[in-house]
Structure 1
Amino acid sequence: MSDTVKRDDVVPLRQATRAWFLVSLQTFGGPAGQIAVMQRMLVDERRWIGQQRFLFALSYCTLLPGPEAQQLATYVGWLLNGVRGALVAGVLFVLPGLVAMLVLSAVYVTYGDTAVLDGLFLGLGPAVLAIVVQAVLRIARRSMTHPVLVALAVSSFVALAFFAVPFPYVLVVAAVVGWTARRALATSSASAPPDDGPPPLVPDEALHADRPSSRRTAAVLGIGLVLWMAPVALAAMVLGGGSTVVDQGVFFGGTAVISFGGAYAVLAFVAQRAVDVYGWLSPGEMVRGLALAETTPGPLVMVVQFVAFLGAYRDPGALSPWAAAVVASLVVTWVTFVPSFVFILLGAPYVERLRGHRGLTAALTGITAAVVGVIASLALYFAVHTLFDGTTAVTAGWLSFDVPRPSTVRWDAVAMAALGFGLAFAARWSVLRTLAVCAVLGLTVGVVRSF
């Protein structure tokens, strides 16, 4: 089969699929690391989409409930190859994490913590820091075109990192400030220097677009709702309405459509309900599940698969423990991510049609600036909890943040992080190459420690 561009394809679908597969193998480090990978591969290296178009899509995705990085991949896939591209990009973004989490959940249930797994996490976790910092610097350099935007980015970072301001509040304020300063931002955008390197290979006007219509909206919404609810309905028919699989499908399906506030905000809610209300796992196991999600490819919300696996394994109902665990993992993953596809396929045509609206563009530009602060705050959170084993919570008035305890510094993680920074910044290695080297070294350390 040739790579001939078909209708709605601005990049050959086979070529785009290969690119999305490579992206999916490098989606470590939560949304910050995942956005960094897409920024580097799609904007910087392949130049399939321009910087401002990429940031516009990112701004829209941050407004939606659910994993914004996976939604961003779905959105960009839609721009490049229509609905087929959206499905390919969105599914591949999740698939490696699904497989990895399924395997690691089975290993955990069978053996518990192992030195080899700890070694793998030691290699990947700190190395991700370099990728995240690289993303912050690149996006900031290209999007901070006005002092207002710089102030928004810094304010967002401080609000999230040190005052625990809810994420939706930050976005709302950023959008209002951007809209208020729309004239100044339009002037600065017009006089801003062009992106580094050559222009994107695919001009904005050539990217995919669908005409919004009530018929299309009804079709996407109807098909999406049926697909979203079908596995849970089937499980209820086969296993009974009170089974663990059905309870998990209903709970996580509902959580997927109200998960505003970023991954950590929704995972705090999931942890409280899964541990204290349903008793699917212990608090310590919830922490271990989050650690697994942070050091495997895919969105952080993949931790729900770990929760489902353990809960169904321990209360399998009519199924065997292993069958119940696998079925629950797949059902929960399905109901968690299907809404994200619906949100993009439903809303993207309308958002694209309004892309030239000065007020909306300015509001989304403000949100983009806030996202720089959001990624920076996630990088700080990730650094503190990766490089140190213990922290002290500081709460004084409106202040709320964790201070690492120097006595708990993990020197092996610091060394691995330094290696990651050296490979990414000094040697200018690719993300995949950097992660591979650090993973091998971490595994080596884990094997040596096991003897």
Structure 2
Amino acid sequence: MKKNKLVPVPSFNEAIRFWFKLGWISFGGTLGHIHIMHDFLVDKKKWISSSRFFHALSLCMLLPGPEAQQLAIYIGWQLHGKKGGIIAGVFFILPSMFILLALSCIYVSYGNQQWMNAIFGGLKPAVVAIIFHAVWSVGKKALHTIAHYLFAVLAFSSIFFFNISMPYIILGTIISALILRYFWPSIVYRKSAGQSHKNLNEDDYYINSKTEGGKNFNTRLLLKQTILFLVFWIFPLVLFYLLSKDFTFWKGLILFFTQTALFTIGGSYTVLPYVAQFSVSKFNWLSKSQMVDGFALAETTPGPLIIVVCYVGFMAGFNHFGGSLLMGTAGLLATTFYTFLPSFLFIFIGGPILERTRGSNVISDVLGFVTTAVVGVILNLTFYLGKDVLFPQGLMLNKIDLMALLWIAVSLFLIFKLRLNIVYLILISMLYGLFQYYFI
């Protein structure tokens, strides 16, 4: 990999320290992760230029799975090869996984306590407000034309009214965007936003727009890495077959989260509606109320919001095996492994291929429509979870929870007007829940 010889080679030990620290301090979801990485890697250390950073982010958004983790793997790989990518990707996840494991154990052990119910009573409306804020944030950047709004509405309608699975919505969006671009290019074409991220002097950065993107793709490399991936994928499955008395459950869990990791494009807010829809309605691994609680727990931890799937795995194992913390832990570990393993495969195999897409208007335009579909999906998640928060006794106007409605409004004001950090909103909401329980 040809690098800029005018800039000192980044220290591997310093990179390890940064990736480890990132896993503990990266509150605020994808935007928080991107801000921290850009501030350190681009502005402070000049290890990668801003144009290259945002190009890598746009490439990762094309891939299934969590784009922030994939961005970390990608940059780690560009800086220090595969060992750098592995370190970056693993440290990105481990801290939040262990924190969420501890919170999940506390949740199932003390969740029936009144004070714990009160805390989640304050958190749930805030979670609805946070997800709505995500709709607004993504929508502002993604919805530029009437066609974009139409695709967002179609995506929302498909999943909300017709229960169409997320992979089919994304696939249909990609095909439709390609057809529209061929027959009506004026409807689809938009200038790439990446131009605004170019640096004045790319030579000041170790990795810049002139840097080669890595080894060229070849069939031998694809075969070798695919076989290695399959070995890693199969090994835990074999262990469950040999050691578990209910292999059918574990096989279903592993196949579901593998499918989720491989086929859900668009980041955490694309994956989560899909997981919530199937884990609650089809597999009955947990209740809708427990799913909302999981979002609240995930918001209190660093790392990507997609880490909530680990909580889902915990609850699946815990509930299926009669309240076993050990089986819940096994479910969380299995879910974490199978959700995040494919990200390494996508980067190490797909990275060289995706590097060739730099400057491709087709990729940029199609990605724009995929993002509009994600807006519709996130809006569906808001309605899906918000219904039970506002109407805990059923969808009737006279049964609306006015205190929950009030706190959603307050949370929206704090987020939009005062730009309150999400972590502080979570803490305030927990206190509000306790205040409501003891004094109202």
Corresponding residue SS for 1:80 = helix
Equivalent in the alignment of 2:251:
250
* Alignment equivalent of 1:6, drawn from 10, 25, 31: 10
Amino acid at match of 1:382: L
In the TM superposition, 1:38-437 aligns within 5 A as 38=33, 53=55, 56-57=58-59, 59-61=61-63, 64=64, 68=65, 71-82=66-77, 83=82, 86-87=85-86, 90-91=89-90, 94-95=93-94, 98-107=97-106, 109-111=108-110, 113-182=112-181, 183-184=185-186, 188-189=190-191, 205=209, 209-211=213-215, 212-237=217-242, 239=243, 242-244=244-246, 246-259=247-260, 260=263, 262-271=271-280, 274-275=283-284, 285-297=286-298, 298-299=305-306, 300-302=308-310, 303-312=312-321, 323-391=326-394, 404-437=395-428
Go from structure 1 to structure 2 and tell me whether the alpha carbon gap of 1:167 and 1:381 turns closer, same or farther (over 3 Å shift). Answer: same
Across the aligned residues of Structure 1 and Structure 2, the Cα RMSD in angstroms comes to 4.1
Deviations 1:259-285 (A, max 9, x none): 35644444544456755xxxxx7xxx5
Go from structure 1 to structure 2 and tell me whether the alpha carbon gap of 1:109 and 1:359 turns closer, same or farther (over 3 Å shift). Answer: closer
Corresponding residue SS for 1:253 = helix
Deviations 1:98-152 (A, max 9, x none): 3354334434554552223223323333223333333333333233343322332
Corresponding residue SS for 1:296 = helix
> CA offset at residue 371 of structure 1?
1.6
Give TM-score, length-normalised by structure 2. Answer: 0.73
Go from structure 1 to structure 2 and tell me whether the alpha carbon gap of 1:47 and 1:186 turns closer, same or farther (over 3 Å shift). Answer: farther
Amino acid at match of 2:422: V
> CA offset at residue 72 of structure 1?
0.9
* Separation in structure 1 between the aligned mates of residue 401 and residue 147 of structure 2, nearest angstrom: 38
> CA offset at residue 389 of structure 1?
0.9
Go from structure 1 to structure 2 and tell me whether the alpha carbon gap of 1:372 and 1:291 turns closer, same or farther (over 3 Å shift). Answer: closer
Equivalent in the alignment of 1:396:
none
* Separation in structure 2 between the aligned mates of residue 424 and residue 335 of structure 1, nearest angstrom: 34
* Separation in structure 1 between the aligned mates of residue 214 and residue 91 of structure 2, nearest angstrom: 23
Corresponding residue SS for 2:419 = coil
* Separation in structure 2 between the aligned mates of residue 265 and residue 372 of structure 1, nearest angstrom: 14
> CA offset at residue 417 of structure 1?
1.9
Go from structure 1 to structure 2 and tell me whether the alpha carbon gap of 1:196 and 1:76 turns closer, same or farther (over 3 Å shift). Answer: closer
Amino acid at match of 1:292: D
* Separation in structure 1 between the aligned mates of residue 58 and residue 133 of structure 2, nearest angstrom: 20
> CA offset at residue 78 of structure 1?
2.6
* Separation in structure 1 between the aligned mates of residue 115 and residue 131 of structure 2, nearest angstrom: 25
CA contact (8 A) 1:249 1:335 kept: no
* Separation in structure 2 between the aligned mates of residue 140 and residue 252 of structure 1, nearest angstrom: 32
Amino acid at match of 2:222: T
Go from structure 1 to structure 2 and tell me whether the alpha carbon gap of 1:99 and 1:288 turns closer, same or farther (over 3 Å shift). Answer: farther
Give TM-score, length-normalised by structure 1. Answer: 0.72
* Separation in structure 1 between the aligned mates of residue 404 and residue 122 of structure 2, nearest angstrom: 8
* Separation in structure 2 between the aligned mates of residue 169 and residue 431 of structure 1, nearest angstrom: 32
Equivalent in the alignment of 1:438:
429
* Alignment equivalent of 2:21, drawn from 18, 23, 43: 18
Q: After alignment, is 434-443 or 260-269 more displaced?
A: 260-269
Amino acid at match of 1:412: M
CA contact (8 A) 2:125 2:405 kept: yes
Q: After alignment, is 92-101 or 368-377 more displaced?
A: 92-101
> CA offset at residue 77 of structure 1?
0.8
Corresponding residue SS for 1:370 = helix
CA contact (8 A) 1:228 1:339 kept: no
Deviations 1:232-257 (A, max 9, x none): 334544x3xx524x444322222223
* Separation in structure 2 between the aligned mates of residue 200 and residue 255 of structure 1, nearest angstrom: 46
> CA offset at residue 174 of structure 1?
2.0
Q: List gaps (5 residues or longer) in structure 1.
A: 27-33, 276-280, 315-320, 392-403
* Separation in structure 2 between the aligned mates of residue 311 and residue 234 of structure 1, nearest angstrom: 19
CA contact (8 A) 2:20 2:92 kept: no
Corresponding residue SS for 2:191 = helix
Identity across the alignment (%): 21
CA contact (8 A) 2:177 2:366 kept: yes
* Separation in structure 1 between the aligned mates of residue 358 and residue 274 of structure 2, nearest angstrom: 29
* Separation in structure 2 between the aligned mates of residue 85 and residue 382 of structure 1, nearest angstrom: 38
CA contact (8 A) 2:313 2:328 kept: no
* Separation in structure 2 between the aligned mates of residue 439 and residue 45 of structure 1, nearest angstrom: 32
Go from structure 1 to structure 2 and tell me whether the alpha carbon gap of 1:228 and 1:219 turns closer, same or farther (over 3 Å shift). Answer: same
> CA offset at residue 85 of structure 1?
6.0
* Separation in structure 2 between the aligned mates of residue 123 and residue 160 of structure 1, nearest angstrom: 28
